[in-house]
Structure 1
Amino acid sequence: MSDERTAHAPGALLTKVLHHLRDGVCLTIDTLEEDLGLTRRQISDSMSKLIMRGLVERAEVGCYQLTDDGIKARSEGLVLTSGPTGPHTGRISKPWRDTLRQRAWAAMRMSASFTLGDLVVAASRDDRDATSNAGRYVRALVLAGYVIEMPVRQKGTRMTSNGFKRYRLVRNTGPVAPVYRPGKHTIYDYNLREDVSCDKNN
């Protein structure tokens, strides 16, 4: 089992997970872990990348299924590489790079709710100022109406802690992370191909 869990190249992992999913069937990470003999981290990372490519979607909390593009890719026997590019659908140009904000956006799409700390754990790959970067991005998404702050905080571990703000993604427009444009104070949404004002919640 341990050899199987460590022997896969990133592209092979993505391909293995993609081809194990079935049209119309929602599978949990626990099920995939048991079926494929992979670690939860391997499966979670693979799901994040497949969601970024528009091949998989979170049908409900902790349960994942193929998108229409994923069904087509699987039926065509698509073999994936580890890069962040994906099949072009004609709907959008896929300008994403493997950045902290792109990974954070993918994590938001996979989560029912999240704290800033959750995003940093899920998205950081030794990025500089990851917490500050993710915090600025979340604040911009809140101002543009993509993310809401939830009324109940997550409890902190210290007696004096006020807890941690929890957020929820309420405007999930697609796999490509919207980009904050500070000069215009807008979010450019590549999924919609339009600018969205960051004054919506002011």
Structure 2
Amino acid sequence: MSPDFPTLQTPRLRLRELQPADAPAFFEIHRNADAMRWFGTDPLTELAEAEQVIEGFRTSREARQPGIRWGLQQLSDDQLLGSCGLFRWNRGWRSCGLGYELAPAAQGQGLMREALQAVLGWGFEHWALNRVEAQVHPANQASLGLLLRLGFQREGRMRQAGFWQGAHRDLLLFSLLREDWDAKLGARLAG
């Protein structure tokens, strides 16, 4: 593991650097066409593709507009449950995108909300973000609800902005501003 990778911990999760050894579990998540129907890419078909994606996450940290992707595992075991991260960090604009996915068996337990609270907090603090954007398929009710619970606001519909599984897809654009995050954090601390 990279010594400069920011490992995060929540009450139930460890957010850590994705490793080549995670490729089989990552592949199982990303090869599932039903699970990937909202993700924005076609399902993976070979283990080597998962290895390449993980390597791409590692190298994206050195890109001109870098990104960082955390692997999610419960504190009780080493099993990869999914990943989440910030990408396309525009230092000048102090903005980036947000992405995430979770294995079907781990969904519905509040794990991604817990992980994203840690990731967003890290981004606002360490990258001095002012804005985080997320793009979501209009029918992805679980993700839409998650973003709203985190304080994101819907900004509009991007017509046919995505293309995966053989079709153009509309996406909804959401954003979370630093002031929204600070207000939500203050409310959590007061409550």
- Normalised by the size of structure 2, how large is the TM-score? 0.32
Which structure shows the higher strand fraction?
Answer: 2
Highest CA radius of gyration, 1 or 2? 1
